[in-house]
Amino acid sequence: MQQKILVFAFPGTGKTFTTQKFKNTCDFESLYYIFDYNKDVLHWHIDKHKGRDDIRTKSPNFPQNYIDALKEELEKGHIVITPFMVNNLIALEAADFDSETRIIVVTHDENDYETVANRFRERGNAEDFVELCREWLPKINERVKEIQNIELITLTGNKFLIDALVNLEVPLITGIGVDNYDKKNN
């Protein structure tokens, strides 16, 4: 049986870039499981939704809806790459993944945050999101060290998710991956 691989990656690590290069990957956006969005903003680019509490409410179905959707995507044979912020950490701690699921967590070195913050700004993230990530990165880095049965990678310098996956010998197949962005409050 093919190993299931689930990657939790902090914002700015290169999730979308990675899934645009490897066809056996899925860029799994969690926002539409964590939050319910005002219908009039669903057409906005995904990065415009991040950190915007003024356009969303917490989903009453989270985290179970997210965990179920992750497991469903893993069953399809994709390497599932999902964001890693506080809500995702809560879901990871609550989830019961089977022993065949390899869980990799990729985060940033806190000392390199300004480089990451500039990436966010260049791609159009709201400044609230940039500051939220700044606030939560050290907290997440500390908490994730306590989670059992994961592989933790901390990116330093100009390293990205793709570098971590190659170093971990994750089997990647060249091509364009998939995403789940069409979830949008279905």
User: pTM for the full model?
Assistant: 0.86
- The CA distance from 40 to 172, in Å, is 37
CB of 10 closer than 8 Å to CB of 135? no
Helices 86-94 and 127-144 pack at an angle, to 10 degrees, of 30
What pLDDT does residue 185 have?
A: 43
The whole-number pLDDT of residue 43 equals 57
Domain 4-183 bears CATH identifier 3.40.50.720: no
Task: Please choose, from the candidates 148, 150, 34, the residue with its C-alpha nearest in 3D space to the C-alpha of residue 83.
Answer: 34
Q: Note the pLDDT of residue 54.
A: 64
pLDDT tens-digit readout, 123-133: 888 898 899 99
Structure-block tokens of residue 167: 């170093």
C-alpha span between 58 and 62 (Å, rounded):
8
Residue 59: helix, strand or coil by DSSP? coil
Cα separation, 22 vs 172, in Å, equals 6
Band of the pLDDT at 184, cuts 50, 70, 90?
Answer: very low
Copy the structure tokens of residue 122. Answer: 């260049």
Q: CB of 37 within 8 A of CB of 118?
A: no
